[in-house]
Amino acid sequence: MDLGFTFLLVANGILIGLMYALIALGFVLVYKATDAINFAQGEFVMAPGIVAAVVAGAANSFWLGAAVAVAAMIGFSFLLERTVLRPLLGRPVIAVIMATIGLAAILRGTLPMLFGTSPLPLALPLGDEPIEVGSLTLQPAQVAGAAVALSALVIFTWFFRSNRGGVAMRAMADDQQAASAMGVNVTRYFAFAWAMAGVVSALGGVMWGAMLGVDVQLALVGLKVFPVVILGGLDSIGGAVLGGLIVGVVENLAAGYIDPLVGGGTKDFAPYVLMVAALLIRPYGMFGTRRIERV
Amino acid sequence: MFHREAGVFKTTYAADMSLFPLPVARKAIAVICVLLVAFIPLVCSEYQLSQFNLIFIAVVGALGLNILVGYTGQISIGHGAFMSVGAYTAANLAVRLDLPFWITLPAGGLMAALIGAAVGVPSLRIKGLYLAITTLAAQLIIEWTINHVPFISGGTQVSIPVPKPSLFGFQFETQRELYFLLLLAAGVATIATLNLVRSRLGRAFVAIRDHDIAAEITGIDIFRYKLLAFAISSFYAGVTGVLYTYYLGIANYEQFQIDVSIDFLAMIIIGGLGSVLGPILGAAFVTLLPIFIRGLMQSMGGLLMNENTLAAVIPNLRLTLFGVAIILFLIVEPEGLNRLWRNSRNYFRFWPFSY
C-alpha cells in the first residue's frame, strides 16, 4: 500500500466530507425543528446553485450571484413552508416524504425549463492554483467549501446551544404542545427552520456548484445526505459533521482501492452499505436522540 | 336518482360476502369487461393499444405496492429494484435454461418476493423514515449489484434480450396480442387483490397499519405479517418487471431505476391509498400524463416555441406537472382519485334532491 496515496485519499475525503456535512446540515435543521423529512435536499442544493451561476454569469460577479441565491432560497423556503408543509402537519410520514419528492420533481423540471439544460460554470474568486500543503495538493474550491461548511456548522451549533430562537426550536422538537404552551410561536419557528435550511442549502449549492459545475446532476449529491444523517443521527449537528467525514473518507478510500477491482461505481455504493449496517446496529445514529419505540 | 342499494336484500352470508353485492355493480363490471375484452381491441389502433398495455403493466405494480403502503402502512422506495429482480430472473431463466413464459413469470415474482422479504426484515425494528431510507438503500444496492455482476446482467451491455412470450403454444407478437395477455395479468392481479384485502390476511395488514401494538395484542404475529406484506407486494413488483421485460423484449436495469419507484408511489398516492380502484386509476393517470402532455404540447406548443425547444421542454414539463399532481393530491385530496370518484357517485345517489 502506498501511504502517500492513502493520505491523499483521506485528505480529500475529509474536505468532501465537510461539504457533505454542509448539505446534511440543511436536512438536520429541518428534521430537528419540525420533524419533517426533506427528500428534496439534493434539489435544494441544485436550485440555488443554478440561480447563483445564472446571476453570476449575467452580472459577472460571484458575490452577487451567491447573495441572490441565498435570498432566493430564503424566500422559497418561507413560501414552501406556508403552502406545502403546513397543510401536511400531523399527517403520516409518507405524506411529507411524498410531498418533498414531488417538490424535487418540480424543481428538477422547472429549473431546466427556465435556465436551459447545459451545465453552467460557477467560478469562485480564488483562482484555480492548487494549494500545496506539505506533500498534498488540494483544490481551492474544496478547501473553500470545507471552510464554509465548518463555519456554518460552528454557527449553527452555537445557535442551538445559546440563542433564544435555537432553544425555542429545540423545545419545539422535543414537544410541540408543551413548547406552544410555554409561549413559543411554533408556526413562526417552523418557517424559520425551513429558511435556515434554505440558507445552508444555498451555501452548499454555491460551493458544490463551484466544484462540480452547475446543472441538474448537482441534485445527485442529495443522495449522499441519507448515509450522512443516518450515521450521525438525524437530529444532531455534530453527528452530521462526523457522518459527513466518515462518508467522505470511506467513499474516497473505496473509490481508490475497490474501484479498480470491480470497475467503478463504488463511490455511490459504499456509503449505503455502511448506512445499512448502521441502521441494523444503531438506527438512531451515533449522536441521535434515542427514541424508544417497541414494535 | 341513482340509489343503487334500494331493493337489494341479502338473505345469505354468501351474498353478503360476495365481491360485488349490488346487481348494478355486477352489471357495470360486466359492461367494463365486455368493453375491455371485445370493444377496445377492435376499435383502437396499435399505438393506442400500446398505451393500454403500459397501463395494464403499471396496474399490477401499483396494486402490489398498495398492499404494502396502503394496507399495511409500510413504506417502500425500492419497488423499482424489486421489479428489476423479477425482470433479470425471468430473462436469465428464459435465455439460459430456455424456460417458457408460464414458468419464468412466477419465478421472477418469487425471486422478487424473496428479496423483498429480506429487505422487509428491518421493518420489524424500524419504521417510517428509517424504513423509507432502508428501502432506498436496497434500491441503490440492488441496482449496483445487477450492474456489476455479469452473471446476472448478461455482460457489458447490462441487458438481456428475451423472446416474445408464448402461452399454450400461442406466440404473443403484436401489441394487439400482447393486449390480451396483459389484460389477463391486470385482471388476475385485481381480483387477487380484491380477495386478499377481505381475507384474514388483508384484515391483519389493515390492523397493523392502524395500530401495530393493538394488532399484536389481538394476536397478530406482526413480524410474520409484515414480512408477508413485503413478500406479496414484491411478488407483484417482480411480476410487473417480468411483464415489462417481455413487453419490451429486453431486460434492462435502466427501466427500473429509482424514478420508477417514485412513479409507482405517485400512482398509489394520486389514485388513493388503501383501495383497489385507486391504484388502477392512479396507474392510468401517471402512465397517460406524459402522453397527454406530449399531445397537448405538440398541438398547442408550436404556437409558442420552435421544434427543438419543444422537444427539450416536454420531459421537464412532465416532471413538473408530475410533482404538482403529487403535492396537490396530498394537500387537497389525500384519498386521491378513488375519493373523487366516490364523491361524484354519492352526489348522484340523491340527485336531483339535496339529501
Return the closest-CA partner of residue B331 out of A89, A130, A151.
Answer: A89
Exposure of A150 in the CB half-sphere (CA atoms within 13 A): 10
- Give the separation between CA A54 and CA A68, rounded to whole angstroms: 10
Contact between residue B334 and residue A95 where contact means Cβ atoms under 8 Å apart: yes
Check whether B301 has a pLDDT greater than 70.
no
Supply A226's cell numbers.
Answer: 441519507
Q: Does A262 touch chain B (CB under 8 A)?
A: yes
Q: Tell how many helices (H) and how many strands (E) occur in chain B.
A: 16, 4
Q: Report d(CA A268, CA A37) in Å as an integer.
A: 21
Place of cell 397537448: B296
* The pLDDT value given to residue A295: 44
Q: What per-residue confidence (pLDDT) applies to B65?
A: 93
**CATH value at residue B207:** 1.10.3470
Strand partners, A137: A132
Of A107, A280, A294, which is closest to B122 when you measure between CB atoms?
Answer: A280
Using alpha carbons, list the distances in angstroms from residue B309 to A54, A84, A105, B306, B316.
19, 30, 20, 6, 11
pLDDT at B264 (0 to 100): 92
Number of domains in chain B: 1
Classify residue B42: in a domain, yes or no.
no
As a whole number of angstroms, the distance between CA A84 and CA B90 comes to 42
What ipTM describes this predicted complex? 0.83
Percent of chain B residues topping a pLDDT of 90? 23
- Rounded to the nearest angstrom, the minimum Cα separation between B76 and chain A is 10
State whether residue B260 sits within 8 Å of chain A by CB: no
Tell whether B12 is covered by a domain. no
Residue A294 has pLDDT above 50, yes or no: no
pLDDT tens, residue by residue, A269-289: 788 888 888 877 776 767 766
Instruction: Output the nine-digit C-alpha cell for A136.
Output: 498534498
**Helix, strand, coil shares, percent, chain A, to 5:** 75, 5, 20
| pLDDT recorded at residue A153 | 86
Nearest CA in chain B to A267: B144
Q: Could you tell me if B149 lies within 8 Å of chain A, comparing CB atoms? A: no
A38 pLDDT exceeds 90? no
Cell triple for B201: 390476511
- Chain B residue with minimal CA distance to A88? B331
Residue B2 lies in a domain: no
Put simply, the answer to whether B325 touches A102 (Cβ < 8 Å) is yes
- Residue of chain B with shortest Cα separation from A85: B331
* Helix H or strand E segment including B220: none
* pLDDT tens string B213-249: 898 898 888 888 999 999 999 999 999 999 998 888 8
Per-residue pLDDT tens over the stretch A86-109: 888 778 778 888 899 899 999 988
Q: Does B330 touch chain A (CB under 8 A)?
A: yes
Residues sharing a CB contact under 8 Å with residue B61, sequence separation 6 or more, in sequence order: B79, B83, B236, B237, B240, B264, B267, B283
Domain that holds residue B308: 47-350
Closest Cα in chain A to B148: A262
Q: Of B130, B132, B265, which has the smallest distance from its Cβ to A283's Cβ?
A: B130
Q: Greater confidence, A155 or A267? A: A155
Q: Does A220 touch chain B (CB under 8 A)?
A: no
